[in-house]
């Protein structure tokens, strides 16, 4: 657990919140005396993923799907005119 003064917390709040998001804890001291502790909110499993997905939708980063993936998986793979392996070797030839 990280221990930090109120002054330091105010100056570096984003840093300490990142630490908490990663699972750490921050104990806040007032003149050397512990007065509070910041911990991560307990949210796990599918509920947490649903909240994360909802935040991404609200931010406009992702759009929710309209249906299942089964129709996509049933289609055969694309037939390409070019040999991708050969194109990759040619692209990287100057690096060898």
The whole domain housing 48 covers 1-64
Within a domain: residue 96?
Answer: no
Here the CATH number for the domain that contains residue 5 is 3.40.1620.10
The pLDDT of residue 69: 77
CA distances from 34 to 7, 16, 23 (A): 14, 16, 20
Cβ within 8 Å of residue 24, ≥6 positions away = 1, 2, 40
Q: Are 94 and 88 in contact (CB under 8 A)?
A: no
Within a domain: residue 81?
Answer: no
Residues facing 27 on adjacent strands? 3, 37
Within a domain: residue 82?
Answer: no
The pLDDT of residue 22: 84
Within a domain: residue 77?
Answer: no
| Structural domain count of the chain | 1
Within a domain: residue 21?
Answer: yes
pLDDT one digit per residue (tens) for the chain, 96 residues? 999 999 999 999 999 999 988 888 999 999 999 999 999 887 666 777 888 888 888 988 988 887 777 877 888 888 888 888 888 888 898 886
The pLDDT of residue 13: 96
Within a domain: residue 1?
Answer: yes
Within a domain: residue 4?
Answer: yes
């Amino acid at each position: 657990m990280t221990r930090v003064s109120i002054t330091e917390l105010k100056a570096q709040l984003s840093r300490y919140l990142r630490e908490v998001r990663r699972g750490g804890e921050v104990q806040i001291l007032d003149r050397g005396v512990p007065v509070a502790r910041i911990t991560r909110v307990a949210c796990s499993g599918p509920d947490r993923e649903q909240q994360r997905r909802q935040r991404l939708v609200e931010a406009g980063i992702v759009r929710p799907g309209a249906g299942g993936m089964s129709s996509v998986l049933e289609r055969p793979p694309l037939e390409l005119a070019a040999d991708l392996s050969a194109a990759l070797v040619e692209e990287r030839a100057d690096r060898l």
